[in-house]
Amino acid sequence: MTPMDTWCLPEVKRRLLVGERVTQADMLAITGGRAWRLAAAVYYLRKRGWDIRTTENASGCAVYHLPPNEIARLRSEGVAA
C-alpha cells in the first residue's frame, strides 16, 4: 500500500464528499505532512469518473471541490464519505 492509499486518498475522498474544498496546504496540515501529492489523488479519482473541479485561491494554489450534483451522484452509487 502506498502513502496515498493510507493517508491521502481516503481523506481527500471524505472531504470532497462532504462538500469541502481541499488544497495541498490543507492536506499537509491534516495529515501531519504525510500527504505530499494531493494532485495525484485528484488525478486518480478523476480517472475513476469523479467530476472534481479546480479553481485557484488568491495565491494561485489549486483548490479542489465536487459540485453538489456530483456529490449526489456519487452517493447514489454507494460511495460513502
Domain hosting residue 17, numbered range = 3-76
Residue 17 lies in a domain: yes
CATH number at residue 68: 1.10.10.10
Provide the pLDDT for residue 3: 47
C-alpha span between 47 and 49 (Å, rounded): 5
Residue 21 lies in a domain: yes
Provide the pLDDT for residue 28: 85
Residue 81 lies in a domain: no
pLDDT by residue (tens digit) across 46-60? 999 999 999 999 999
The closest alpha carbon to 21, from 35, 6, 2, 38, belongs to 38
Q: What is the CA angle 47-57-10, rounded to 5? A: 40
Provide the pLDDT for residue 69: 98
pTM: 0.86
| Residue 59 CB-density burial (10 A; 0-12 exposed, 13-18 middle, 19+ buried) | exposed
Count structural domains, the chain.
1
Q: What is the CA angle 25-41-50, rounded to 5? A: 115
Tell whether the model's pLDDT for residue 34 goes beyond 80: no
Quick one: pLDDT band at residue 65, thresholds 50, 70, 90?
Answer: very high
Residue 10 lies in a domain: yes
